A and B are shown apart, each in its own frame.
Chain A
Amino acid sequence: MSAVIKEAAHGKTLVTLRNLNKHYGDFAAVDNISLDIQDGEFLTFLGSSGSGKSTTLSMLAGFETPSSGEILVEGRSLVNVPPHKRDIGMVFQRYSLFPHLSVRDNIAFPLAIRKLGSAEIAKRVDAMLKLVQLETFAHRRPAQLSGGQQQRVAIARALVYEPRILLMDEPLGALDKKLREDLQDELRQLHRRLGITIVYVTHDQEEAMRLSQRIAIFSHGKIVGLGSGYDLYQNPPNAFVASFLGNSNFLRVTASSHGAAAFEGQSLAIRLTSGLAADQDALIMVRPEKALALSTEQATREPLPAGWNEVNAKVGEVLFLGESQTCQVVTAGGTEMTVKALSAAGMPMQPGDTVKVRWVVADACVYTEWAESDLSKAAGAH
């Protein structure tokens, strides 16, 4: 979590969530969340459905009232301000354009509400149409546009009144992959150009990585990880984040002394970890792409370098995935591991071969506390 504090030191805080709660009866949809959102940052709420990310966004927009806690924008409380007075922009999952208005009138709607002069409205709408490249579609109705075009109208409508904060609730979820990636690039550029603060909700971790400067990972109504995509992936703060983001290999070990642990009767070197006592159970996490699988001959040719670990395993399955290849292996004690390598590097293993799996000690994270449910991929939802 140290990375978070470093990040936070940059800009100034625009939005503060303080001990925010949302209960539906006994059920805590949002459970005591505290978060600072920096001015001008692109922050993504990432989590599976039901993890509380959308509820938090709804509270920011004003569609849900917090059960308790505070939402502050530049020190001013927003809790009792109705949505139409918050001056926040929002892009919805299903676009939610006004079906009875043309593209132009949809974008002009927030300005007409604010009673701007018609010349000013026309000027701003034209600029927006240009920004989202929909000049030629200005007179169409939303129903006559494709999903991607509709979403661009929705973005234009949310930006035209120049809100300081833009909320986006899985805005690209309904689009196909190629279009989604194009719009992700457009969004990132838009954010860079406008310098607006964006809070983005998604369940797609690749999207979160692609877009955001910081990611907040939600699980069971709590933020369980906060930081840049790089930090969260390379150094997950806990086993849940490790298993949720990307793929991971977990090895159950018992700490023996400082910097060493026993794995299935074999001694492994581990990172120095504070709070880890001798004989305590711990968990080692190695990313599949950080591990190497070597055949017995390769292993004898290349002796184990210092600072590396090695375990013996048997190959279960080798899969070719295009740019990469994965190799499922099982250790003598029954622990399953996955090793991933670029196809170009080659992995000449056959099922049943004995291999040696190696990794750099410093690349493996060590956790002293975890729940069994954290280790399964489906974790995170209520």
Chain B
Amino acid sequence: MKVAINALHNAQGADPGTGAPRAAVRRPPLSQRWRGSRNLLPALLFLGLFFFAPLIGLLLRGVLEPVPGLGNYEQLFANSAYARVLFNTFSVAGLVTVISMLLGFPLAWAITLVPRGWGRWLLNIVLLSMWTSLLARTYSWLVLLQGSGVINKLLMALGIIDAPLEMVHNLTGVVIGMSYIMIPFIVLPLQATMQAIDPMVLQAGSICGASPWTNFWKVFIPLCRSGLFSGALMVFVMSLGYYVTPALLGGAQNMMLPEFIIQQVQSFLNWGLASAAAALLVVITLVLFYLYLKLQPESPVGNAR
């Protein structure tokens, strides 16, 4: 995903920056640019057969079942219970993105700053948590957060709270569990971006008169922007479509969109409404991706080339 994002924005980023006249000179004629595209055919065929065809089939169900028309979409937006699901989905995804960014940024920075060997250790720990079974990790949070769980018992023993806090089977649990799961997806692109920043640029900032604080906000953060953007986008989009963690840590009342889709398919066999909801997810993701490309005109480490 990261590779795809970078490749796309590099290809697109090269032109607006260089200015129209040079771009016109550099860009070869259309026929020449598409020369050799015949080699793409097998890949396109594979993609079309096994990705686009099923996807289109699914999306068609949204407008064809149970009766042709936009009835499913109307229902999705008009019904307040369904609107609530949408709201939950977005607020949880947003909150998870912010929290994992706040936790992931210092972690990525630490990995970049500590001596080489130590940084690799830290990174391996992050990766290891990512490779551990998702179910195992989610259940661990269940054990930790439940009413008789370690955290509640500890807080009560310390006299901070009198009654156990309700931290699972509601959105709090979902946000906690998902933030934890999403941190690696922020840390990895962010760390790669930070690693590529020339430390001399920060030295240049300070000799130009920037205090450490100013240097951080005026030089370091702007240079991290591409990593922050791609990490945040990935986390937000993944959170929108995440199922396992919300299903285990969330409650029946506060559903998120993926749970809603599963419920419609498995319990009610309402394929039409489910595919309408799925289509909505796809569209939202595409819009976000487009915005991301729009906001990223330049290469993250333009100077390094």
Question: Which A residues are within 8 Å of any B CB, using their own CB?
Answer: 61-63, 82-90, 92, 94-100, 109-110, 113-114, 141-144, 154, 157-158, 161
Contact = CB atoms under 8 A, between A and B. Distances in A.
Contact of B204 (A82, A86, A92): A92
Interface stretch (B40-48, B254-262, B296-304): B296-304
8 contacts: A83-B203, A96-B200, A96-B203, A96-B204, A97-B201, A97-B204, A99-B298, A113-B208
B257 to A, nearest CB: 36
A100 B305 CA distance: 13
Contacts of A95: 303
Given A99-B301, A113-B214, A141-B302, A84 B201 contact: no
Q: Max chain A CB contacts within 10 Å: which of B200, B204, B210?
A: B204
Contacts of A82: 206, 211
B54 interface: no
Interface stretch (B60-68, B217-225, B239-247): B217-225
Nearest to B222: A100
Contacts of A90: 204, 207
Contacts of A61: 203, 207
B305 A143 contact: yes
B198 A94 contact: yes
Nearest to B207: A90
B205 interface: yes
Interface of B: 17-18, 198, 200-201, 203-212, 214-215, 218-219, 222-223, 225, 298-299, 301-305
A90 B299 CA distance: 26
A154 B207 CA distance: 12
B181 to A, nearest CB: 31
A308 to B, nearest CB: 54
The 3 lowest CB-CB distance pairs between A and B, nearest first, are A143-B302, A99-B303, A110-B208
B204 A98 contact: yes
Contacts of A114: 209
Contact of B223 (A83, A87, A99): A99
A157 B302 CA distance: 18
Contacts of A83: 203, 206-207
A287 B100 CA distance: 68
B204 to A, nearest CB: 4
B209 A100 contact: no
Given A98-B219, A113-B214, A88 B207 contact: yes
Nearest to A154: B204
A63 B203 contact: yes
B203 A99 contact: no
Nearest to A101: B222
Given A99-B301, A100-B225, A143-B305, A92 B208 contact: no
Given A92-B200, A100-B222, A114-B209, 19 more contacts: A82-B206, A84-B206, A84-B215, A88-B207, A89-B207, A90-B204, A96-B200, A99-B303, A99-B304, A100-B298, A100-B302, A109-B208, A109-B218, A110-B208, A113-B209, A141-B17, A142-B303, A143-B303, A158-B208
